Structure 1
Amino acid sequence: MLRSFYFIFFLAFSINLAHANDGDTYTPIFFTQAEVLNNHITRIPFKLVDHLIVVEAELLNKKGNFIVDTGSETMILNKVHFSDFYNYQRKTQETSGVIQSIDNSYERSVKEFALESLKLRDKDSDVIDMSHIEKSKKIKLLGVIGYSILKDYEVFIDLHLNQITLTKVDRFGNKLNNNVYLEKIVDSLTFNLKNHTIVINGTINNQNVTFGIDSAAEFNQINRKINKKALKYFIPKRRLSLSGVSNKKIEVLAGKLHRVKLSETVYFGPMLTVLTNLNKMNKAFGTQLDGILGYEFFAQKRTIINYQKEKLYFINYPINTQWSK
């Protein structure tokens, strides 16, 4: 088999954060390219860095990039750019990553996270060294935006227009403004929220499997220990060296995964997938998953996430565009 090296960034944290009771002053984050439609709806353009969804933002007079990651429980800051933060409070327990536990992690409370006119107060963050990600992706990376920021919104991740639409919802998941989407929602799925992880049931070759949804997984992952009838439709192509947020490397088998269905009407074409052992990932997620659906999922499905209702909604791509991505 061909042997090549890819940096594949997976963020999937299970973090128990304590509030840092400090005397921080006003520390807003500004999304410099956001379009505020009204008090409840904000659109943020993003760029794809390889297969990562990246938005531009400014924090404490530092302008750079944040990765949008539904697999991360909290906001994570890069201590390369926030050295004053990371010395504040060392974590007493490890932060779990996809490849292995991450040490040398610190906690910090950000008093105010400002998304243009939308403000979220008292958000905890983890602070870790992401210099290896910056080097690999050739971007100035300030941090990661995760579940703790996204959960109060209906989140439309649109890889057709390369934009994220955040719509404020109430505690029942009802949008505070219903005039959001110009296009028709054509399908939906119910998911279970396990801690901060979106968990859905599906099948591969009619074999039952459980998936997690992670917008920062550059390739899908499938557990090498799943049913052999399902693995029959994983077609290997080559071996890859895989790096996670902890900068540790493992070798995996990469190929195409076929016959994935999440319902009678929600199914997928072949998806780039890596075959690996998910034991440590399941520990990180705090659940038992047979696989992770990431970029390849969003590339085929324009997806709306409603955390409060535990629902995914789908809007069709224009004809033929999804297969060109």
Structure 2
Amino acid sequence: MRKTFYILLFCLLPFVGFSKESYNVLSFPQAEFLTSNTTRIPFQLVDHLIVIEAQLLDQKGNFIIDTGSESLILNKNHFKGYHSNLNTPKQTTGIFDFIDNPLEKRLKEFIIKDLIIQNKLSDVIDLSHIESSKKMHLLGIIGYDILKDFEIFIDMHLNQITLSKINNEGDKLDDSVYLEKIIDSVDFKLKNHTIVIKANVNGKILKFGLDTAAEYNQLNKKIDKVALKQFFPKRRLQLIGASGQKIEVLAGKLYRVKLTKTIYYGPMHTILTNLNQMNNAFGTKLDGVLGYEFFRQQRTIINYKKEKLYFVKNPLYKQ
């Protein structure tokens, strides 16, 4: 029986939209308040998706953390009653398919413990297929528009995310946030809302998008043949895109991915697919996408304003 995985990668295209004011607050009941500018939130892994608990409009449920999404996305299945008043719809695209007519809503306040984010737009999309497949109460997806004002420490070892408020230059407002040691860093380019990094694969430099909600890494089957030699296929999988469309892809492991002299990756589960439609939507040319497999091997800090990734030393466990 083939397994089904989700690639939650969204690009919001230019649009004419609509909005409704909401005076409700999105809060995180499990958040740990560290300082007035720093909050730590525990998460659970649902398959390979990073999921946190939140409350909104008197509802409690799960939100997926997705650096591949531009905005805050609400599940239409739980937030009904929002209708477009305009003839020109908004459109968003997933990894290989398009979603028409996502609705739009404005939240007055988005609160993470005592960290308040005001006047953020959210998209309302039917996510019931993900909710059904993952067997969870899914309220929505938290993307770039929320995350960009923080330095985000994604720790797969402790299953927690630390959000630290930053200024316009990307400097943290709190000095001593992390007890852990930062061992290396790498620059990235921000293409619209997409983090794009360069990696060495078998001596060839490839461009990858970074997406926390990609359950499997993705590799464009049209990359350089020398780099492609490091992909070893094993089986076929069924892939579901953002709107529920299904395709079959070749899955295997990708070897010899290196970012710096000290930051490199062991074999990573990867799917081989055609990324042409995604590249057209993003207006860029990616050779692949790195997701869960990337973050599970390296504790990673993302700073959007500095356009930099930092890597934190893994903990030592006593036998």
TM-score when normalising by structure 2: 0.95
Tell me how far apart the structure 2 counterparts of residues 231 and 261 of structure 1 sit (CA, whole Å). Answer: 15
Give the alignment partner of residue 220 of structure 1, picking from 217, 222, 230.
217
Distance 1:283 1:300, change over 3 A: same
Give the alignment partner of residue 152 of structure 1, picking from 149, 152, 155.
149
Tell me the residue number matched to 2:107.
Answer: 110
Code of the aligned partner of 1:162: N
Q: CA deviation at 1:93?
A: 3.6
Contact 2:90–2:101 (8 Å) recurs in 1: no
Q: CA deviation at 1:88?
A: 6.6
Q: CA deviation at 1:17?
A: 5.6
Contact 2:254–2:269 (8 Å) recurs in 1: yes
Number of aligned positions between the proteins: 317
Q: CA deviation at 1:20?
A: 4.0
Q: CA deviation at 1:91?
A: 6.1
Give the alignment partner of residue 292 of structure 1, picking from 289, 293, 305.
289
Q: Match of 2:168, SS?
A: coil
Tell me how far apart the structure 1 counterparts of residues 244 and 299 of structure 2 sit (CA, whole Å). Answer: 31
Give the alignment partner of residue 202 of structure 2, picking from 202, 205, 209.
205
Indicate yes or no: 2:279 matched with 1:311. no
Code of the aligned partner of 1:185: I
Contact 1:99–1:246 (8 Å) recurs in 2: no
Tell me how far apart the structure 2 counterparts of residues 86 and 140 of structure 1 sit (CA, whole Å). Answer: 23
Give the alignment partner of residue 73 of structure 1, picking from 64, 70, 75.
70
Task: Within 5 Å, give how 1:94-173 maps onto structure 2.
Answer: 94-173=91-170
Tell me how far apart the structure 2 counterparts of residues 129 and 284 of structure 1 sit (CA, whole Å). Answer: 20
Give the alignment partner of residue 44 of structure 1, picking from 41, 46, 50.
41
Tell me how far apart the structure 1 counterparts of residues 182 and 128 of structure 2 sit (CA, whole Å). Answer: 40
Tell me how far apart the structure 2 counterparts of residues 276 and 284 of structure 1 sit (CA, whole Å). Answer: 16
Q: CA deviation at 1:5?
A: 2.4
Distance 1:39 1:285, change over 3 A: same
Contact 1:91–1:106 (8 Å) recurs in 2: no
Tell me how far apart the structure 1 counterparts of residues 303 and 282 of structure 2 sit (CA, whole Å). Answer: 19
Q: Match of 1:5, SS?
A: coil
Indicate yes or no: 2:8 matched with 1:7. no
Structure 2 unaligned regions, length at least 5: none
Distance 1:165 1:91, change over 3 A: farther
Contact 1:88–1:108 (8 Å) recurs in 2: no
TM-score when normalising by structure 1: 0.94
Tell me the residue number matched to 2:259.
Answer: 262
Code of the aligned partner of 2:47: D
Q: Deviation per CA, 1:184-226: give whole Å up to 9, x if none.
A: 1001000001100000111110111001100000010000000
